[in-house]
Amino acid sequence: MTHLVALTLALFLDALFGDPRWLPHPVRGMGALIAYFDRRWNQGSGRRAKGVAAVAAALAIVYGLSALIVHIGYALSVYIGAAVEAVLIFTAIATKSLAEAAEDVRRPLEAGDLPAARRALSMIVGRDTERLDEAGITRACVETVAENTSDGVTTPLFYAAIGGAPLALLYRAVNTCDSMIGYKNEKYHEFGWAAARLDDVLNYIPARLTALVMVFAYGGRRLRRSLAVLFRDARRHPSPNSGWLEAAMAGLLGVQLGGTNTYGGIVSERPTLGDPDVSLRSVHIRRAVSIMAGTVFTFTLLLWIGGMIIALAGAWGESTRAL
């Protein structure tokens, strides 16, 4: 239960502080570590094996250090241990910073300042933003909020509930590896193979749980329609996990996501998700952020319920054995 207490405290810390620049952030250290391995090992023959070794080394370092820090905290006091875990989990989630980044896009977009909205959007997406109109900017932002509801919040919480801060940070390290080297281009196709596959595996269950929580928490009168869109379109996305979040969000908002994107001047055609019941407008960014926040709250509540059921079952098992 201490893991659940710690992750709840982490959510409160995130709501209060977001991602303060003055705080040393483990993700930056993870990024520097992966960049080091990339420079040293991503060359010559055997790049796939080198990539596996790089990811394994990074994960061992991250998990080992965080487990040691948590162990020292609990050795001093259960309260200190829980506080240490809470701070570490806090660094692995990004609810407030995601909401703020989305709002940084929405405000100028709503005011009609497309250049400012494009600049803000370019900070959180990898696609080209220079020529996007209001609908294109909104679509990119909504897709990012949907995907990162899982990647940036609920999945770290899921692993924190199972294995505390060390497991949450291990997941974050995998996610960082994937974002840096998990590309299918010539440079990273082999070296980034392990990072991309492991990220897919670790996100598989949490992404689907998050999508279902999202739909059931916010479906309302659109529940049946949203579920239909989710199960119809989730597998159309090139990512085995992102499609679940984007399809869920598309169904809830009654909009169509996916379609044509441009990366470095190269056009990428993706299947569409959802039905264009209404045109994409800046207001959908605000709604997507609200759905994200409610999904995180409901997901955390369900983690508590699950944890209490497991704890009660364990206590009941102990009592029956004592008899």
Enumerate the domain spans of the chain: 2-322
- Please say if the pLDDT value at position 23 is more than 80: no
pLDDT at 31: 87
Of 138 and 183, more confident: 138
The 10s digit of each residue's pLDDT in 182-216 is 888 888 999 999 999 999 999 999 999 999 999 99
pTM score: 0.93
CA 51 to chain centre: 23
Average pLDDT of the chain? 93
Residue 292's nearest CA partner among 129, 23, 116, 96 is: 96
How many helices (H) and strands (E) in the chain? 12, 2
* Average pLDDT for 106-130: 96
* Average pLDDT for 105-132: 96
**Are 140 and 119 a contacting pair, CB within 8 Å?**
no
pLDDT at 159: 98
* Residue type, position 309, single letter: I
- Please say if the pLDDT value at position 70 is more than 70: yes
